[in-house]
Amino acid sequence: MPNNPVLAVHGGAWALPDDMVEAHIRGVRNAISAGWGVLGRGGTALDAVEAAVVIMEDDDTFDAGRGSFLNRDGKVQLDALIMDGATLRAGGVGCVERLRNPVRTARKILTESPHVYFVGEGAERFAAEHGMELCRNEDLVVPREIEHLRRHQADAAPPGSELFSAELNHDTVGAVALDRHGNIAAATSTGGTLNKAPGRLGDSSLIGCGCYADNQTAAVSTTGWGEPIMKLVLAKWTADRVAAGNLPEWAAKEAMNYLEQRLKGQGGIIVLNAQGQFGIAHNTPRMAWALKTMTKEDSGAKVENR
């Protein structure tokens, strides 16, 4: 008997200002539309999360793809991971500078490489060898972020200090999906943190940290302050709570409690199991998110914990 598909996406968790809410909600709704189009045609969860994340990578509202935060040297460096819950196969890229859609290269790694992870120039070479067009780093930079970096550096804040504040953007994007075949998948993509040291890698592209999927437990994508999420291997921790018999809704909320209580971390999370049960939670003032099932569609960037 076919499963009823489910798709959830997030577009970052932080103190999203009122004047940015509409753009974020529009962005996550567009991502839901793209991913749901795949699921509605009987496509796979893996295809759906890729399609949803590509939309957000192409939308400079978010910290993924074009429009991402600039590192200390004024460059965009991107990370992404995609994971298949049916097979536990995964593909990831880190610190890439010439890929418009890092999640597409991550998918190509999952499908066509015996490896899981490529970084920097090696990831870009893999992409080019597999027919993917490279861009200039300048093509990923938008004037807003040049000014954003200039103001931040002018404040003489120590490198990395912005990580401690929900007042500064954490617009990492991600998606989790369940398809008609009963398989789940997850994907996460990010430009990292503002003024990060060149070569810094966050949680988003690391299996079990910012992204995880296993049909036997859950598909998970996180957003927020990467260093604490990495230290807690939070996506896998959350999936393990589901494996222990807890509902994704409870596991999502408990993950945010754990993140805050253990390391004073800030962020958000979406969780989905193979039965179509889901959870959305954050411990920041707002999180941009959207959800669609056969009977329900919702989205928001609300001042509340879900």
Overall number of domains in the chain:
1
CA 78, chain centre distance (Å): 11
Q: Quick one: pLDDT at residue 165?
A: 54
Q: Is the residue at 164 inside a domain?
A: yes
Q: Which of 44, 61, 105, 172 is catalytic?
A: 172
pLDDT of the residue at 303:
39
Query: Is residue 306 domain-resident?
Result: no
Token couple for 74: 């004024």
Report yes or no on 137 lying in a domain.
yes
Residues of the chain below pLDDT 50: 160-164, 302-306
Q: What local confidence, expressed as pLDDT, does residue 159 receive?
A: 52
Task: Give CA 77 to chain center in angstroms.
Answer: 15
Whole-number percent of the chain with pLDDT over 70: 93
Neighbours of 168 (CB within 10 A): 18
Any bridge partners for residue 222, and if so which?
Answer: 269
What pLDDT shows up at residue 306?
39
**What is the per-residue pLDDT for 170?**
73
Backbone φ/ψ region at 131: left (φ over 0), alpha (ψ -120 to 50), beta: left
Residue 294 lies in a domain: yes
The CATH number for 14's domain is 3.60.20.30
Assigned domain for 49 exists: yes
Structural domain containing residue 296: 6-300
DSSP secondary structure of 114-168: S-SEEEHHHHHHHHHHTTPPP--GGGG--HHHHHHHHHHHHTTPPTTGGGG-TTS
Q: Is residue 1 domain-resident?
A: no
Contacts of 94 (CB under 8 A, 6+ apart): 79, 117, 118, 119, 120, 123, 201, 205
The answer to whether position 251 is within a domain reads yes
42-65 pLDDT, tens digit per residue, is 999 999 999 999 999 999 999 999
44 catalytic? Reply is no
86 CB-near residues (< 8 Å, 6+ apart): 183, 184, 215
* Residue 130 included in any domain: yes
CA 43 – CA 298 distance, rounded (Å): 22
**Which pLDDT does position 305 carry in this prediction?**
37
Q: From the centroid of its chain, how far is CA 230?
A: 14
